[in-house]
Amino acid sequence: MNPDTERSGEPPNGRAGTLRAILDGATLYKLLLGTCDVLAVTTAFYLSYILRNALFSWRGGVYVATGKHLLLLLGLNVFILTFFRLRYLYRSHAFSASIEHLEQLTRAWIVFVATFISISFCFRVQLFTEHRITVMIFAAMGWGLLYFGRFMAVPWLARRFAAGQGIASRAVVVGGKEDAINVARFLQETSGRSAILMGYVSPEPTPAPAPGSDMPPLLGGIADLPDLLRAHRVREVFISLPDGDWNQLTSLLEVLWPFNLRLRVSLAHFGALQEKASYLPDIHHGYVYLNDSVLRSLEQRLKRLMDVAGALAGLVLLSPLMLCLAAAIKLESRGPVFFRQKRGGSGDRTFDIFKFRSMRQNTEEHHREAVRRLMAGDEGFFREQSNREDPFKLTDARQVTRVGSFLRWTSLDELPQLINVLRGEMSLVGPRPEPLYQTELYKPWHHYRQHLRPGITGFWQVFGRSAVSHDDMVLMDIFYILNWSLALDLRILLRTVLVILTGKGAM
């Protein structure tokens, strides 16, 4: 079952439930933040123009606004909403008046102003290119208005609106009593939003809850969860299952997706990903936020558009290089230019992946045995055989050609996969497709990584290369699927370029 399909369907609560999902406290806060940012930029733009004419006209005359200025303002507003979203300034860490929020806002504003200056210079907007005082007024007033809006106006408006409409976000915890106590403390400490912890649902068999005897109250077991969500009109669920049971967790997620909830999963479930916490977009009190943007369906279309545009551009621009590589492969050794292999795609479908051939002969049996031992948890065999932490490159080095060694080191052997992207079998970013003999060894929860199209590069390739176990790599892929966004894709693409340029391992 595809979580994207499930989330786009009608929730069990009907259209009223969908309306509550859109107008709940967190979404309201995001809308207010976006409105605040647009008003701040528009006001700073207008006042910088007015004040410059009023106070400094003696330095160059009076400027009159033109259509070019209006187009620039419109572009700036689109850009700031997009850029701030890429910088995660509409995630829950921006719901509080914290130092971290202010630091991130300030850094993003500095980059925004630098971009604004560059655009003004390129399009010769005289008001901003010839008079530095106008830019200084814009930069100072813009930051001040953003600070006032995000740290004063928006929290006040959100509290007033939530109180008047009775749309406080109701939350439950799937976990133990200690987990519920920690979440209750987290919700109390988070300013700028209204949230109520209704209680917790135990993943273990428990006696019937005694109303009023517990704080937070025990509401029931997992089997009761769908009815509890409807009865208490829950909008947010915190999940912390004992022993990181991913079979139970993936089953639970399938139940929860249709309710259009905001989901948070304990970071303890993600294995080696805990060491990469600084790379993750939104972590609070040890819980990872799972992205469920109201723009998700639009972002999915944009992702496919980005895939097609990127693949076409790559094939056109890199075709001379690809022809040279193909010639070098043929000149050095006999055999086809391309290596083809059946791989597992989204929805358990299979396809033929294309790569430049980098070996004299196939060593699939060697790799098959190594994969079997690795997935069985035999890390000692893995380290002894490879002396490197990359099971996907666990091949007989004696069979790798000189051209192939260069292709692997630079990741250029992956270029033909742009054809797979155009054919709709792969994406630029996604979980790496694995050989069929590897997918046959999957544990039940491993199949969750096949909910999205596989990618040429992905989260594990750029953030998790220190992970050793196959489970850790699958967990990173699942994290990407659960928290997917265009912002995360763009970040992975940028980091992929840096990985290749620094030679820190090929994909």
Where the chain has pLDDT below 50, the residues are 1-23, 164, 166, 191-192, 294, 386-392, 505-507
Nearest Cα neighbor of 218 from 205, 200, 231, 206 is 200
**What CA–CA distances, in Å, run from 300 to 84, 286, 304, 420, 427?**
19, 28, 6, 18, 11
Residues in a beta bridge with 195: 169
C-alpha dihedral, 25 to 30 to 35 to 36, nearest 10°: 100
DSSP codes of every residue in 373-431: HHHTT-HHHHHHHHSSS-GGG-S-GGGB-HHHHHHHHHTGGGTTHHHHHHTTS-EEESP
Give the up-direction half-sphere exposure of residue 298: CA atoms within 13 A in the CB hemisphere: 3
pLDDT at 6: 38
pLDDT at 321: 94
pLDDT in tens, 292-308: 554 567 778 889 999 99
What is the overall mean pLDDT for the chain? 78
User: Which two three-digit tokens encode residue 373?
Assistant: 């031992």
pLDDT at 278: 59
DSSP state for residue 435 in the 8-state scheme: B
Signed CA dihedral, 363, 369, 371, 374: sign only: negative
pLDDT in tens, 427-444: 999 998 988 888 888 888
- φ and ψ at 86, to 5 degrees? -65, -30
pLDDT at 176: 85
User: Which two three-digit tokens encode residue 29?
Assistant: 């806060």
pLDDT at 392: 43
Residues in a beta bridge with 200: 173, 218
**What CA–CA distances, in Å, run from 385 to 41, 361, 442?**
58, 19, 22
pLDDT at 248: 85
pLDDT at 144: 94
* Residue 335 burial by Cβ neighbours in a 10 Å radius (0-12, 13-18, 19+): middle
Give the up-direction half-sphere exposure of residue 296: CA atoms within 13 A in the CB hemisphere: 18
* Residue 22 burial by Cβ neighbours in a 10 Å radius (0-12, 13-18, 19+): exposed
pLDDT at 34: 92
pLDDT at 161: 75
pLDDT at 276: 64
DSSP codes of every residue in 120-163: HHHTT-HHHHS-HHHHHHHHHHHHHHHHHIIIIIHHHHHHHHHH
User: Which two three-digit tokens encode residue 314?
Assistant: 């790559």
pLDDT at 314: 93
Domains of the chain: 25-163 (no CATH), 167-292 (3.40.50.720), 297-502 (no CATH)
Does an H or E element contain 498, and which?
helix 486-502
